[in-house]
Chain A
């Protein structure tokens, strides 16, 4: 019934296995002239192209799914995707993320739905770039970019604030706070039905 070998192999099985093995030959060092081949190898290698990537001038290409620094994404009309749920912070094994949520109001709407992140910090001194925060995020607000040059000379500079992490406003996006797309609610946002901003979303001349 079973395909598994749960019983330990019996001694004759070991012996059989050993017999089928290739006997060790040539314990003697290779002849002098064969050893000289090594000189040819090093000499030939001198004329090969070095593998070195001259880093600061040449930035190495990383894989598309490389775990770089984080980014807080936006909907197509500019509202933030982050709902301040703190799931990323809870998922973080290095305790690198700090989130403080806040209620959205009609005057101060940063994201569709009830809540947004008032404070969002990632401490890159602690972050191990494991990506568990990305897996935890329910709205795909948090993703990782391919950017890897985040070294700095002060500890304070390595705690990235929400402004540093937020994705830039692309064409057709409006800087929140602003109301949701007219005639829609947060479900439309979550389903990805909002493709652009509406002129009525512009408030106080803010673009």
Chain B
């Protein structure tokens, strides 16, 4: 696709300008996505959504931001002042950092400089994203802890447990991609998808990543950290004014960040969809940004769709799902991917690969049917109430027992 040193010879001003552009893009996208989310969710509920401020209500989020900034900034007496102030700053800064390694375009001409709209290309780029994401959790945990109040503390604890659990699943879903691409650098991963996107090749990894990215960003249906019905506002209950706005900003930038990462890892980043490769040279390569943007928007719409459709999970079910379903399935899938990869690298025959794949499919089917039959047996046992002593007082019959007509 391009020569690997293309980012290394960037002069300082290009790097600075790119950093600024990424920041501006994130903030503007946040404002637009808050608006977009509210509009889309509203349509899903047969409402109109914000349509008053500006054309189509487009600057509603900006107006809300200004309103938040002008509000009184309250720091509770019981709060740990330094940490209380630090927490939203950690949250808001780390969420931007992930964008440094995301390539948003192919090779473009940037004010006379051949480059890629990507700040830097680390050899461990994806791990760096994971690292910044987990530092971002500190913001939430510290916010919950430093508020000196019970609900935020519970929210912060929930959130930390949640994000740690789902980061394992997330990290494991990357492993398949790493094995396939043989690299952790985002650009190498994109180049490895030049024939087939990873969403096709590694669909289980993709599915698990999509689930865990929702858990990772504390979004519905996994928004237990700020479950309004139980925890008031969760970790940000005690926050007001700009500090609250920072958390808000962090949430949406995080959504865009995980969506961009999903685009990079599984949807070929800024490359055009199959069959439309000729568009990549339009506008001097800048057209690739539109492809990248569309893919990210697709993920964003998925986030909104989830929020509009699914109710919030119960906490224990949520943790069970993460640890007992996502992680084991992921580990098994990695074994399969690794074996297949090794077989192709060692030059195994087509027959052997087909036999192995078939064996895996059979094993999965067997496991599923075994699971089903044990579940049915357990159900039968549970429903077999046997001879229950009749109470001496009149009671209505148990609803689950079906009386057989003689």
Contacts and interface: CB of A to CB of B under 8 A. Distances in A.
Interface of A: 10-11, 14-15, 17-19, 21, 23-24, 27-28, 38-39, 41-43, 45-52, 54
A38 B309 CA distance: 6
Interface in B257-277: none
A41 B46 CA distance: 12
Given A45-B45, A48-B46, A50-B48, A19 B397 contact: yes
Contacts of B42: 50
Given A23-B402, A51-B47, 5 more contacts: A24-B399, A24-B400, A42-B308, A49-B46, A50-B46
A17 B395 CA distance: 11
Nearest to B40: A46
Given A23-B402, A39-B309, A18 B47 contact: no
A21 B309 CA distance: 33
Contact of B396 (A15, A38, A45, A49): A15
Contacts of B17: none
A23 B43 contact: no
Interface of B: 40, 42-48, 51, 305, 308-310, 379, 393-397, 399-403
A42 B397 contact: no
B305 A39 contact: yes
Contact of B44 (A15, A27, A46, A54): A46
A174 B308 CA distance: 61
A54 B396 contact: no
A157 to B, nearest CB: 26
Given A23-B402, A38-B310, A18 B46 contact: no
B397 A18 contact: yes
A45 B46 contact: yes
B309 A42 contact: yes
A115 B62 CA distance: 62
A23 B397 CA distance: 10
Nearest to A45: B44
Contacts of B402: 23
B305 A43 contact: yes
Nearest to A23: B402
Contacts of A28: 379
A18 B394 CA distance: 11
A37 B399 CA distance: 28
Contacts of B44: 42-43, 45-46
Contact of A52 (B47, B394, B399, B400): B47
A46 B397 contact: no
A23 B305 contact: no
B317 to A, nearest CB: 11
A203 to B, nearest CB: 54
A52 B305 contact: no
Given A15-B394, A23-B399, A46-B40, A51 B46 contact: yes
A42 B44 CA distance: 5
B309 A46 contact: no
A12 to B, nearest CB: 8
B399 A50 contact: no
A46 B168 CA distance: 35
Nearest to A15: B397
Contact of B47 (A43, A47, A50): A50
B384 to A, nearest CB: 15
A11 B47 contact: no
Nearest to B403: A19
Contacts of A54: 48, 51
Contacts of B46: 45, 48-52
Contacts of B45: 45
A49 B48 CA distance: 9
